[in-house]
Structure 1
Amino acid sequence: MKRILLWVLLSLSLSASAQTWQLTGFKKADAENPILSPSLEARFLDPISGKKVAWENKNVLNPTALVRNGIINLLYRAQDSLGTSRIGLATSADGIHFKKRPEPILFPSNDAFRSFEWPGGIEDPRIVEIENGGYFLTYTSYDGKYARLCGAFSKDLQTWEKIGPLFTSEKYLHTWSKSGALVSVQKGSRLVAHQMGGLYYMYFGDTDLFLATSKDLRHWDILENAESGVRLAVLKPRAGYFDSRLVEPGPFALLRKEGIVLIYNSSNAANYNESRFPKFTYAAGQALFDAQKPYKVIARTNEPFIWPNQPYEKVGEVNEVCFVEGLVPFNGKWFLYYGTADSKIAVSIKK
């Protein structure tokens, strides 16, 4: 009996220890959610069509976030009635109540990148600070056929320098790519892009997860399998689990003492899935990567920590979706912002 009890206690201890790397304890702000909804009034003179458009009258979704001068800045994807996406900005002093800017801050234009961004637009931003000042944003451009992972720099969140697709080689320029999450470190309320061995690392992809490196945030190389020459998948879907259909990065990847913690989005497959969730449910899990070998998974959650269970998460443009993309430390708490049913935006808070 004593041996059995000792074994049970040891197992519980190991289990608890194995979970210490995770970001746990998030609670949805159900009384306030959704915190951001589409606007029928906001108008914007589109530089390509030359017409005033209601640029966020269809959906708002998939936001990134940062703290600047004690204020949370939420950069979010907004869609017009034709489905073109642009990036809007909303600010908040408490993380719950936001004031939107009347016009988008990043959008397709008559510039060198129009062919990549029109007519689908600019989607799903993820932002980090740069050590020497300013911000680096990854986003997905969509031309109606290909999604391409792109980048942009800004000093003030108002004026942006687009650099276009991050993967420019002939091999990958016309390969579908999305959702770039950079390895970053927390410095107070700041999340700063971090170099390891002189390189920035970025997880990306929306089937498997892949990995890319850069010396300057402008020029990126994808890690490949030396034998096959294909992109090296560092995280894959799992049959029988909530992430059985696909995996996709959430916010930045956070470097901690235990390793690199990546919150990731996932979708439940039509079969050989997690039967507790409807097929194609989008929920979020977490993975821990080795800081010395960022391609190596050390641990991974078997259960999602956030999933659709509210009406605005279960029914919308795309049903059954919680898609996490924004995470900030603010006033002693973590605020996690996510898209709901590809239609609105909500927050979950960790104290």
Structure 2
Amino acid sequence: MFTGASFPLGPFTPYEGNPILRPKGDSWESANLYNPAALVDGDEVVLLYRAHADDIVSHIGIARSRDGVNFTREDAPILSPSEDYERYGCEDPRIALIDGTYYLTYTGWDRRSAQLCLATSTDLRTWTKHGPLFDDFDTFKTMDPRGFNWSKAGVIVPQKMHGKWWMYFGEGAIYWATSDDLIHWTPGTADTEPMYSPTPGTWDEALVEIGTSPVLADNGLLVFLTNGATRTVHDDGSVDVDYRCGQIAIDPDEPTKVIARLQEPWLRPQTFEDMHGLVSNVTFVEGLVKFQGRWFAYYGQSDTTLAVAIHDPAQPWGRALREGDSEGDDTSTSTSASTSEE
């Protein structure tokens, strides 16, 4: 099932009408709305997004669109905290549809431990929770150890490789796990052995985190959109972050190795919403779909609003050459023109 994708995928242009979804009213989504999973359902794009009120207890809502940018949301969340391990939030969903079942990975948050959890559904409304997937696993172990379970962020590859189902997961560094039944998952290595770590001296030197579910490119590579960050600690102890979006590629014949990465991000904070919010200076991607011939990458802006960047395959890399513009100074449409593979 090839998708017409290549590595790197892009360029992506932030939609001029961003944000496409904002908090509203005085309900469960009144304060902040961000970080969506995305899928195509027939002739619609479906977003499963994170939102909360001033209590910062996150729920997951649902919205639909026939054009990829104008969404109608339902009033009630589809997934809410109900268990002790998630009592302060169901956060940051990613989704895969396999043989008629939706597999939703999300972060269960108890204000101490961020744990990667799984829920399943056949209709996107009635969910069976399967609890945290990993015990005693710290994806920051090699960098800034938490000292307890911390395993947020996971994407499931929607087809088997080497006779098993595969998941890539992790905030801080990225790891892999396999499963025979899509419910029970076993990490492939100890938490001291990530498959991919931050690159010192670059835009993702503080952490890397898996972003979107992979797409299978025409050359057979799995292409993932990822998140990376830098952190600046000031003398008063305050910390500034800068989250940007990158890409990695994996060869399914060797699915435990990253064989290429973008040296520069394809998306970075640049608008007011990107740079101001609950956590400022954040563009954080979790949803990617191909819809009506274009690619839509959905991302959160400073943990406060929801935006989209669009790639039209008819507009390849090299805007300066296409338009005869040797300046190439329009960063709003060419944020990753200087990217290259390692």
Q: TM-score range by the shorter chain?
A: 0.7 to 0.9
Mapped to 2, the partners of 1:219 and 1:20 lie a distance apart of 31
The offset of 1:294, in angstroms, is 1.3
Find the counterpart in structure 1 of residue 127 from structure 2. 160
Which residue type is aligned with residue 303 of structure 2? D
What percentage of residue pairs aligned between the two structures are identical?
42
Mapped to 1, the partners of 2:152 and 2:170 lie a distance apart of 5
Find the counterpart in structure 2 of residue 23 from structure 1. 9
Whether the 8 Å CA contact 1:245–1:280 is kept in 2: the answer is: no
The answer on 1:182 being equivalent to 2:143 is no
Mapped to 2, the partners of 1:20 and 1:327 lie a distance apart of 14
Whether the 8 Å CA contact 2:107–2:115 is kept in 1: the answer is: yes
Aligned with 2:171: secondary structure?
coil
The offset of 1:234, in angstroms, is 1.1
The answer on 1:82 being equivalent to 2:43 is no
The answer on 1:36 being equivalent to 2:4 is no
The offset of 1:254, in angstroms, is 2.2
Whether the 8 Å CA contact 1:223–1:231 is kept in 2: the answer is: no
Find the counterpart in structure 2 of residue 204 from structure 1. 169
TM alignment of 1:156-305, pairs within 5 A: 156-167=123-134, 169=135, 175-183=149-157, 193-224=158-189, 229-256=190-217, 257-270=219-232, 280-305=241-266
Find the counterpart in structure 2 of residue 141 from structure 1. 108
Aligned with 1:97: secondary structure?
coil
Mapped to 2, the partners of 1:170 and 1:20 lie a distance apart of 37
Find the counterpart in structure 2 of residue 321 from structure 1. 282
Find the counterpart in structure 2 of residue 103 from structure 1. 76
Mapped to 2, the partners of 1:211 and 1:137 lie a distance apart of 17
Could you give the per-residue CA deviations for residues 45-81 of structure 1, whole angstroms, max 9, x where no partner exists?
xxxxxxxxx2111100100111112111110000121
Alignment partner of 1:129 out of 83, 86, 97: 97
Could you give the per-residue CA deviations for residues 94-130 of structure 1, whole angstroms, max 9, x where no partner exists?
1111111001000012xxxx11111x21000001110
Which residue type is aligned with residue 130 of structure 2? I
Aligned with 2:274: secondary structure?
helix
Q: CA RMSD in A?
A: 1.9
Change (3 A) 1:299 1:238: same
Larger-Rg structure: 1
Whether the 8 Å CA contact 2:137–2:150 is kept in 1: the answer is: no
The offset of 1:155, in angstroms, is 0.9
Find the counterpart in structure 2 of residue 115 from structure 1. 84
Aligned with 1:181: secondary structure?
strand
Normalising by structure 2, we get a TM-score of 0.82
Mapped to 1, the partners of 2:6 and 2:59 lie a distance apart of 38
The answer on 1:59 being equivalent to 2:32 is yes
The offset of 1:230, in angstroms, is 3.7
Change (3 A) 1:60 1:171: closer
Whether the 8 Å CA contact 2:285–2:297 is kept in 1: the answer is: yes
Whether the 8 Å CA contact 2:136–2:149 is kept in 1: the answer is: no
Mapped to 2, the partners of 1:203 and 1:117 lie a distance apart of 21
Change (3 A) 1:20 1:27: same
Change (3 A) 1:326 1:20: closer
Higher RCO by CA contacts (8 Å cutoff, separation 6 or greater) = 2
Which residue type is aligned with residue 241 of structure 2? F
Mapped to 1, the partners of 2:214 and 2:14 lie a distance apart of 21
The offset of 1:232, in angstroms, is 2.5
Change (3 A) 1:20 1:92: closer
Mapped to 2, the partners of 1:171 and 1:336 lie a distance apart of 29
Q: How many residues align?
A: 294
Aligned with 1:269: secondary structure?
strand
The offset of 1:295, in angstroms, is 1.4
The offset of 1:291, in angstroms, is 1.2
Whether the 8 Å CA contact 1:27–1:350 is kept in 2: the answer is: yes
Give unpaired runs (5+ residues) of structure 2: 139-147, 234-238, 313-342
Which residue type is aligned with residue 121 of structure 1? G
